[in-house]
A and B are shown apart, each in its own frame.
Chain A
């Protein structure tokens, strides 16, 4: 049995919640690239990972969502790509304390291939560099997340699979009336096809919408392929209340619907924007109840 299947043998796993907002609580300035803190304030990044592990996360991610050299170049840090990614894995490994798996996060480049701003070769190279650094630092698996464009996802998947680690590819379905399309129009079925063709170990959805919309995405992904499904919904939709951004769902309400996704056959469930260790604690509690029931 592959390592990946072994992890899931005892049942679905609870993953973590948002990192950016947790880092903001610890002093990260608005607009500052969170990944830079892997070098500047590793202890504060570790606190976030520890908080999730203590809340019940069985998988924690790394603070490397923006750590591809193309995105880091936007803040003049392309030269630190290797160091930031390596530090990201080391920090999460320490926070996991042998009790959680560490899946390394790879986000989109933020550039559109079809407008010609960047070439396929540049994108491939950017993902390769990041994936190699994350794998070299000892991540358990690589997670390509918040993807919109199938072409970019294919490039990232090819680069990530070259490392030999299990790879999960996850899309942001934030468009369409039912929140079942990515910004670029891709469907859950398209995502499943790209994942299977590219040799991913799992396919998924993150960000984009609250847990309610994820039920249908989960069903469609499972119908479209035999891969395990990874889901990280937002805590509902954001609104600004007295100058603060608030998401519409409470930890308890979120946990109830996210636990429902486990019941639908999702293999990994956690949270994206608007979630915190409190949300994961509530989810882990429900997941434990489901498993024993």
Chain B
């Protein structure tokens, strides 16, 4: 089998054109999509995450890597679906009520997609009722809540309470993040986890899925 180490580099360097071209080439040569994902693509995103953790990469490099990953994944998805392979998990994500900021939320969504998750993005200024409805209507295992403002982070608490009142709290794990959010705040409002950045969010989502299996 041909080696596709270039795919690893393309994703790590955030080169979407090359990542898509190499993926097409690999598929034309009959390479197993799962093999591409596990040997090159996921390791590349893991390395991008490591570089982010040690401050060699910042948001732009991470976003580019996630986009290159997504470009390659989209080509593989139909084949994966046909072979019955499931996404890593289903995540609902949104910025809480009263908060219109979406950069952080979009970054986490991109990184989760890059990590192989199915992501349903509910947008910004999402009411607790809308989160409840989305949890009820989808099979999502994880809900990610974002807030940038100290005055809107309290809406994370009301969202979790709304899930409780709707009897859905046990069906999902709730992860929270955003500039003013802290680990302590996550504990206080009864969230299941806090991600200091998009990379941590993916790691937490993976842990949750692994623990459920």
Contacts and interface: CB of A to CB of B under 8 A. Distances in A.
B55 A20 contact: no
Interface in A2-60: 20-21, 24, 29-32
Contact of A239 (B55, B106, B124, B184): B184
B55 A177 contact: yes
A176 B55 contact: yes
B152 interface: yes
Given A30-B154, A185-B60, 11 more contacts: A31-B151, A74-B100, A110-B103, A114-B60, A115-B106, A175-B59, A177-B55, A183-B58, A184-B58, A185-B58, A240-B154
Interface string B44-68: 0000000000010111110110000
Contact of B125 (A24, A31, A238, A243): A31
Interface string A69-98: 001001100000000000000000000000
Contact of B150 (A114, A115, A273): A273
Contacts, number: 76
B100 A183 contact: no
Given A110-B100, A239-B182, A181 B125 contact: no
Please provide the 5 A-B residue pairs with the shortest distance between their CB atoms, ordered closest to farther. Answer: A31-B98, A185-B58, A245-B150, A30-B151, A74-B100
A271 to B, nearest CB: 14
Nearest to A176: B55
Contact of B152 (A30, A181, A183): A30
A185 B54 CA distance: 12
B9 interface: no
A30 B184 contact: no
A174 interface: yes
A40 B38 CA distance: 57
A240 B55 contact: no
Interface string B152-188: 1111010000000000000000000001101011001
Interface of B: 55, 57-61, 63-64, 97-103, 106, 124-125, 149-155, 157, 179-180, 182, 184-185, 188-189
A181 B98 contact: no
Nearest to A24: B151
Interface string A234-257: 000111100101000000000000
Given A115-B63, A181-B58, A245 B100 contact: no
Interface of A: 20-21, 24, 29-32, 71, 74-75, 110-112, 114-115, 174-177, 181, 183-185, 237-240, 243, 245, 273
A184 B104 CA distance: 11
A205 B14 CA distance: 29
28 contacts: A20-B149, A29-B98, A30-B98, A30-B154, A31-B98, A31-B99, A71-B100, A74-B100, A110-B100, A112-B106, A114-B63, A114-B64, A115-B106, A176-B55, A177-B55, A181-B55, A183-B59, A183-B103, A185-B57, A185-B61, A238-B150, A240-B184, A240-B185, A240-B188, A243-B154, A245-B150, A245-B151, A245-B154
Q: Say what secondary structure dominates the interface of chain B.
A: loop
From B57, B180, B188, name the one whose CB has the most chain A CB atoms within 10 angstroms: B180
A119 B122 CA distance: 23
A185 to B, nearest CB: 3
A115 B98 CA distance: 24
Nearest to A66: B100
A192 to B, nearest CB: 18
Contacts of B64: 114
A114 B152 CA distance: 26
Contacts of A111: 103
Given A112-B103, A239-B182, A239-B185, A31 B55 contact: no
Contacts of B184: 239-240
A283 B64 CA distance: 43
Contact of A185 (B59, B180, B189): B59
Nearest to A150: B60
Indicate the member of A110, A185, A237, A243 with the most B CB atoms within 10 Å. Answer: A185
